[in-house]
Amino acid sequence: MNGRTPFVAANWKMHKTVAEAEAFAAALLPRVSDAEGVDVAVCPSFLALGAIVDSTRGSRVRVLAQNMHYEASGAFTGEVSPPMLAELGVNGVILGHSERREHFAETDRALELKMPAALAAGLLPVLCVGETEEERERGDTERKLRHQVQEDLSQVDSAQLGDVVIAYEPIWAIGTGLVATAEQAQEAIAFVRALVGDRAPEQAERVRILYGGSVNPDNAAELLALPDVDGALVGGASLEAESFAAIVAAAGRR
């Protein structure tokens, strides 16, 4: 036992209207009500956040946004700020997902500011990192992870590093059905933990590091049993309550 509570989060990406999100919550809550010892979260679109905060109130399910700006307010058309999320009762936020880095020009510079801004607003930040297929083939996986982890966490106080969640999501495994092998996932996640340890050894023992990329009910148990893997960030298999609940259950048995 390493003392870290497993964390399993459903990243719905640009899926589910408010009505669909509410139907999912109604189906999920009874299925995870006895998932003792697992932190469970759903990450709906901005528009469904308020409804899902309401419909999960009093349950074990936490609600996370999928992005935010680092400023509290300002002339940033189309953006949402940390206090806006906190006011709604949102518990945290995914930051630096590879789809935001790739399609929306999310930069490490911005993430440097977003990470402490989330913590200051009382939000749990889930920082996503990971290499492309090309970077893995070139032998650059560790270089990429080092760059992202060091830069994106550079403005987080060392004493607070254990309060963030990091998700290792190899880009080649996202939405492809190609899951990292147990060895690849363990090796990369242990490396990320060691990077946190370079700054604060005791925080490396606390920080939760998830695996993401084609996690499903069939492969979850093996991934979640790995010593450094503290949970999963789930895309496609999180869109159905039954398959997401099966992954939560696998985390509870680890």
The least distance separating ligand 13P from the CB of residue 161, rounded to whole angstroms, comes to 21
Q: Count other C-beta atoms under 10 Å from residue 126's C-beta.
A: 28
- Residue span binding ligand 13P (CB under 6 A) among the ranges 24-32, 45-53, 194-202, 228-236: 228-236
Instruction: Give the burial class of 105: count Cβ atoms within 10 A of its Cβ; 0-12 exposed, 13-18 middle, 19 or more buried.
Output: exposed
Q: Does 115 bind ligand 13P (CB under 6 A)?
A: no
Among 35, 215, 249, 251, binds ligand 13P (CB under 6 A): 215
Q: What share of the chain is helix, strand, coil (3-state, %, to 5)?
A: 50, 15, 35
- With CB under 6 A as the rule, give the number of residues binding ligand 13P: 14
116/217 with CB nearer ligand 13P = 217
| Environment class of 192 (CB within 10 Å of its CB; exposed 0-12, middle 13-18, buried 19+) | buried
Contact pick of 169, 192, 229, 243 for ligand 13P (by CB under 6 A): 169
Q: For residues 126 and 200, which CB has a smaller minimum distance to ligand 13P in the complex?
A: 126
Q: Which of 174, 209, 247, 248 binds ligand 13P (CB under 6 A)?
A: 174
Contact in structure between 7 and 230 (CB atoms under 8 Å): yes
Which residue number, 48 or 237, has a Cβ lying nearer to ligand 13P? 237
Check if 97 is active-site.
yes
Q: What secondary structure letter does DSSP report for 227?
A: T
Query: In the annotation, is 169 catalytic?
Result: yes
Q: Does 241 bind ligand 13P (CB under 6 A)?
A: no
Start-end of H helices in 2-152? 18-32, 46-56, 82-88, 98-103, 108-120, 133-137, 141-152
- Nearer residue to ligand 13P within complex by CB, 11 or 141: 11
Catalytic residue among 69, 97, 99, 131: 97
Cα 198 from Cα 158, distance rounded (Å): 10
d(CA 124, CA 146): 22
If one asks whether residue 201 binds ligand 13P (CB under 6 A), the answer comes out as no
Query: Among 92, 212, 217, 231, which residue interacts with ligand 13P (rule: CB under 6 A)?
Result: 212
Query: How far out from the chain centre does Cα 84 lie?
Result: 20
For ligand 13P, the binding residues (CB under 6 A) are: 11, 97, 169, 174-175, 212-215, 233-237
Which residues are catalytic, by number? Answer: 97, 169
